[in-house]
Structure 1
Amino acid sequence: MFHFSFSYSKYILYKPPFQSSESTVPTNAASGYRELTEEKMKMFVLLLSVCILGMTNSVSGAEWLRYNKHWYYHSTQKLNWMGAQLYCRRQGGNLVHIDNAQENNWLSSKYTAVSTWIGITDQAVEGVWRSVTTGERVPYINWGGPPDNYKGNQHCGTLNYGGRGRWDDDTCSKKRTFICEVSGY
């Protein structure tokens, strides 16, 4: 795991290609250059590290599997749905976006039979399941039974509910294992 320590709050100055009166990025008035914050610098260093190191079969000691031009990692660590999504984002991906029955079958055959978080949610509009990766409605579903939003509090998707490959809606605050997906490597 990478660990960065910075002692300055501003690091890089760059001059934008044009000036706009509607700019939302802080600008140093004397030079016309914009300043990057510590948070942005850390993100830049993290993204640069991923680009330099590339994708291997090991990310932070985790074992990744490749299928159809995507990398997958099943975490045995249990987190709530949002914590799992943040973990996957730190790895350069998202909770898994399942496109079709073949991918669903591959995932459910490779990983645990225990119910695990996947990257779908209906938090924005009840009953409209969207991919956390694309923001679009999910192109494929495989519910083990209709998502029931039990007690009005089930807005996050799981894989392997009541059998391998079946999906369910669940309470997002529950701690479960999860599957991350990184594409394009």
Structure 2
Amino acid sequence: MLTYYMVLCFAFVYEASSTHFTTCPDSWVPYHDSCYYFHYDSLDFITAEHYCTQHNSHLVHIDDAAENAFIKNRIEHISPKTSWWIGLTDEQIEGVYKWVDIDEEMLPGAFTDWAPGQPDDYHHLEDCGLMMHGNWSGILWLWNDARCDAKFPAICELRDGQSEIVG
């Protein structure tokens, strides 16, 4: 009887981990192996990242077009006239963008969704990435660089393996 129970327990753990169920903290939204929190208060970039780290997460790191589309869809429905911070910056070396969660340069060929002509480091003052509310030839929510001291809402991402996710 004991052997049978252990086999059932093992099978359940294996099944749950292979299907990647994600349970998120209250007010967080699950998508694939991550949870997202859309923090409505306008903060500068550094304060936004600090807010996310206080919640065991980071500003969102967008890996691919599907994740980007998921985020665009969410912000279109919750705050359609607002730009939102994402976790991308070139503060250390101009033109070398890094995601704040891994502090590594974006690799050539990595997914991006920059608006036409962006990033442009306007007046040598823009070093932080956001999803910009704007319309570029009918396309909304493209990436833009902005002044890091500008204030926008933040998108935090809690990735699978970080302390709060049960999966």
Q: TM-score, normalised by structure 2?
A: 0.72
Equivalence map 1:70-81=2 (5 Å) = 70-81=34-45
SS, match of residue 166 in structure 1: strand
C-alpha separation in 2, matches of 1:104 and 1:56: 19
1:120 alignment counterpart = 88
Instruction: Pick one of 99, 103, 107 that aligns with 1:135.
Output: 103
2:156 alignment counterpart = 180
| CA drift at 1:125 | 0.9
Pair 1:83 & 2:47 matched = yes
Pair 1:106 & 2:78 matched = no
C-alpha separation in 2, matches of 1:79 and 1:115: 12
| CA drift at 1:56 | 4.0
Of stretches 100-109 and 139-148 in structure 1, the one that deviates more from structure 2 is: 139-148
Q: Alpha carbon RMSD of aligned pairs, Å?
A: 1.3
More helix per residue: 2
Amino acid at match of 1:182: L
Q: TM-score, normalised by structure 1?
A: 0.65
SS, match of residue 51 in structure 2: helix
SS, match of residue 158 in structure 2: strand
C-alpha separation in 2, matches of 1:120 and 1:141: 10
How many correspondences in the alignment? 127
Q: Encode CA deviations 1:53-81: one digit per residue, 9 max, x unaligned.
A: xx6432xxxx1100011000011111000
C-alpha separation in 1, matches of 2:28 and 2:113: 24
Identity %: 32
Of stretches 138-147 and 150-159 in structure 1, the one that deviates more from structure 2 is: 138-147
* Structure 1 residue ranges (4+ consecutive) displaced by more than 2 angstroms after TM superposition: none
Amino acid at match of 2:152: R
C-alpha separation in 2, matches of 1:132 and 1:117: 12
Contact map agreement 2:24 2:30 (CA 8 A) in 1: no
SS, match of residue 47 in structure 2: helix
C-alpha separation in 2, matches of 1:147 and 1:165: 14
Contact map agreement 1:95 1:180 (CA 8 A) in 2: yes
SS, match of residue 85 in structure 1: helix
SS, match of residue 143 in structure 1: coil
1:12 alignment counterpart = none
2:131 alignment counterpart = 159
C-alpha separation in 2, matches of 1:137 and 1:115: 24
Greater RCO (Cα-Cα under 8 Å, separation 6 or more): 2
Larger Rg: 1
C-alpha separation in 2, matches of 1:119 and 1:80: 12
**5+ residue gaps in structure 2?**
1-22
